[in-house]
Structure 1
Amino acid sequence: MLDKVIVGSEEWCSFPALGIPTIKARVDSGAKTSALHATNIVPFEKNGENWVKFDINPIQNNIKAVIHCEALLIDKRVVKSSSGYRELRYVIRTVLEIGGSEWDVELTLTNRDSMGFRMLLGREAMSGRILVDPEQKYLLGHPTKEKIKEYYYSEDTAKKGLRIGLLASNPELYSNKRIIEAGEMRGHEMHFLNLKYCYMKLDATAPEIHYRGGRVLNDFDAVIPRIRPSMTYYGCALTRQFEALKVFSLNSSAAISQSRDKLFSLQLLLNNGVDIPTTGFANSPLDTNDLIKMVGGSPLIVKLLEGTQGKGVVLAETKKAAESVINAFKSLNANILVQEFIKEANGKDLRLFVVDGKVVAAMQREALPGEFRANIHLGGTASVVKVTAEEKRIAIKAAKAMNLKVAGVDIIRSSKGPLLLEVNSSPGLEGIEGATQKDIAGEMIKAIEKNFKWK
Structure 2
Amino acid sequence: MDKLTIIGSEEWCGFETLGIPAIKARVDSGAKTSSIQATNIKVFIKGAQEWVKFEVNPIQDNRSIAINCEAKMIDRRTIKSSSGIAEERYVIRVPVSLGDQTFDVELTLANRDTMEFRMLLGREALNNRYIVNPAENCMVKDFTDAEITKKYATYFKEKTGLKIAILASNPELYSNKRLMEAGEMRGHEMVFLNVEHAYMKLDAYSPEIRYRGGNILNEFDAIIPRIKPAVTFYACALIRQFDNLGVYCLNSAEAITQSRDKLFASQLFSKNDIHIPITGFAKSPMDTKDLIKMVNGAPLIIKLLESTQGKGVVLAETNKAAESVINAFKSVQTNILVQEFIKEANGQDIRCFVVNGKVIASMQRQAEKGEFRANIHQGGKASIVKITLEEKKLAIKAAKVLNLAVAGVDIIRSNKGPLLLEVNSSPGLEGIENATGKDIANSMIMAIENKLKVRT
> TM-score, normalised on structure 2?
0.75
- After TM superposition, give the deviation of residue 293 of structure 1 in Å: 1.7
1:41-80 alignment runs, 5 A limit: 41-47=39-45, 49=50, 51=52, 53-55=54-56, 67-72=67-72
Q: 1:93 to 1:285 in 2, by over 3 A?
A: same
- Report the residue type matching 1:364 in the other structure: Q
> Are 2:268 and 1:268 equivalent residues in the alignment?
yes
**Which residue in 2 is equivalent to 1:247?**
247
**Which residue in 1 is equivalent to 2:430?**
430
What SS class does the counterpart of residue 387 from structure 2 fall into?
Answer: coil
Q: Is the 8 A contact 1:353 1:360 kept in 2?
A: yes
What SS class does the counterpart of residue 451 from structure 1 fall into?
Answer: helix
Q: Partners in 1 of 2:166 and 2:38 — Cα distance?
A: 20
- Report the residue type matching 1:223 in the other structure: I
1:351-390 alignment runs, 5 A limit: 351-373=351-373, 378-390=378-390
**Which residue in 1 is equivalent to 2:301?**
301
Q: 1:175 to 1:14 in 2, by over 3 A?
A: closer
What SS class does the counterpart of residue 324 from structure 1 fall into?
Answer: helix
- After TM superposition, give the deviation of residue 226 of structure 1 in Å: 0.4
**Which residue in 1 is equivalent to 2:136?**
none
Q: 1:339 to 1:196 in 2, by over 3 A?
A: same
**Which residue in 2 is equivalent to 1:319?**
319
What SS class does the counterpart of residue 310 from structure 2 fall into?
Answer: coil
Q: Is the 8 A contact 2:94 2:105 kept in 1?
A: yes
Q: 1:90 to 1:210 in 2, by over 3 A?
A: farther
Q: Is the 8 A contact 2:349 2:374 kept in 1?
A: no
- After TM superposition, give the deviation of residue 308 of structure 1 in Å: 3.0
1:139-158 alignment runs, 5 A limit: 157-158=157-158
- After TM superposition, give the deviation of residue 267 of structure 1 in Å: 0.7
**Which residue in 2 is equivalent to 1:164?**
164
- Report the residue type matching 1:41 in the other structure: T
Count, aligned residues? 409
Q: Is the 8 A contact 1:77 1:91 kept in 2?
A: no
Q: Is the 8 A contact 1:347 1:366 kept in 2?
A: yes
Q: Is the 8 A contact 2:299 2:317 kept in 1?
A: yes
What SS class does the counterpart of residue 268 from structure 1 fall into?
Answer: helix
**Which residue in 1 is equivalent to 2:398?**
398
Q: Partners in 2 of 1:297 and 1:375 — Cα distance?
A: 24
Q: Is the 8 A contact 2:63 2:182 kept in 1?
A: no
What SS class does the counterpart of residue 452 from structure 2 fall into?
Answer: coil
**Which residue in 1 is equivalent to 2:86?**
none
- After TM superposition, give the deviation of residue 93 of structure 1 in Å: 5.0
Q: 1:137 to 1:279 in 2, by over 3 A?
A: closer
Q: 1:41 to 1:64 in 2, by over 3 A?
A: closer
Q: Structure 1, residues 158-197: CA drift from partner, whole Å, max 9, x if none?
A: 5614211111111111111111111111111111111121
- Report the residue type matching 2:54 in the other structure: K
**Which residue in 1 is equivalent to 2:133?**
none
- Report the residue type matching 2:169 in the other structure: S
**Which residue in 1 is equivalent to 2:135?**
none
- After TM superposition, give the deviation of residue 232 of structure 1 in Å: 0.5
**Which residue in 2 is equivalent to 1:211?**
211
Q: Partners in 2 of 1:91 and 1:376 — Cα distance?
A: 28
> Are 2:196 and 1:196 equivalent residues in the alignment?
yes
What SS class does the counterpart of residue 333 from structure 2 fall into?
Answer: coil
- After TM superposition, give the deviation of residue 417 of structure 1 in Å: 0.7
Q: Structure 1, residues 220-276: CA drift from partner, whole Å, max 9, x if none?
A: 111100000111111111111111111111111110011000100111111122100
Q: Partners in 1 of 2:318 and 2:397 — Cα distance?
A: 35
Q: Is the 8 A contact 1:56 1:68 kept in 2?
A: no
**Which residue in 2 is equivalent to 1:86?**
none
> Cα RMSD between the aligned structures?
4.5
Q: Is the 8 A contact 2:365 2:375 kept in 1?
A: no
- Report the residue type matching 1:51 in the other structure: V
Unaligned runs of 5+ residues in structure 1 are 1-12, 33-37, 79-88, 116-122, 128-133
- Report the residue type matching 1:292 in the other structure: I
Q: Structure 1, residues 388-416: CA drift from partner, whole Å, max 9, x if none?
A: 00000000000000111111100111111
Q: Structure 1, residues 301-331: CA drift from partner, whole Å, max 9, x if none?
A: 1212133332222222222222211111111
Tell me which structure has the larger Cα radius of gyration. 1
- Report the residue type matching 1:450 in the other structure: N
Q: 1:434 to 1:137 in 2, by over 3 A?
A: closer
Q: Partners in 2 of 1:66 and 1:15 — Cα distance?
A: 14
What SS class does the counterpart of residue 193 from structure 1 fall into?
Answer: strand
Q: Partners in 2 of 1:375 and 1:94 — Cα distance?
A: 39
- Report the residue type matching 1:278 in the other structure: I
- After TM superposition, give the deviation of residue 427 of structure 1 in Å: 0.6
Q: 1:362 to 1:285 in 2, by over 3 A?
A: same
Q: 1:417 to 1:215 in 2, by over 3 A?
A: same
Deviates more, 1:46-55 or 1:353-362: 46-55
Q: Is the 8 A contact 1:94 1:106 kept in 2?
A: yes
> Are 2:270 and 1:284 equivalent residues in the alignment?
no
**Which residue in 1 is equivalent to 2:333?**
333
**Which residue in 1 is equivalent to 2:5?**
none
- Report the residue type matching 2:55 in the other structure: F
- After TM superposition, give the deviation of residue 104 of structure 1 in Å: 6.3
- After TM superposition, give the deviation of residue 67 of structure 1 in Å: 4.6
Identity, % of aligned pairs?
A: 62
Q: 1:420 to 1:24 in 2, by over 3 A?
A: closer
Q: 1:39 to 1:331 in 2, by over 3 A?
A: same
Q: Structure 1, residues 2-41: CA drift from partner, whole Å, max 9, x if none?
A: xxxxxxxxxxx99764467xx5899x9x999xxxxx9873
- After TM superposition, give the deviation of residue 454 of structure 1 in Å: 3.4
Q: Structure 1, residues 69-123: CA drift from partner, whole Å, max 9, x if none?
A: 3334679999xxxxxxxxxx998655689xxx99867889988xx99xxxxxxx9
Q: 1:412 to 1:106 in 2, by over 3 A?
A: closer
- After TM superposition, give the deviation of residue 215 of structure 1 in Å: 2.0
> TM-score, normalised on structure 1?
0.75
- Report the residue type matching 1:186 in the other structure: R
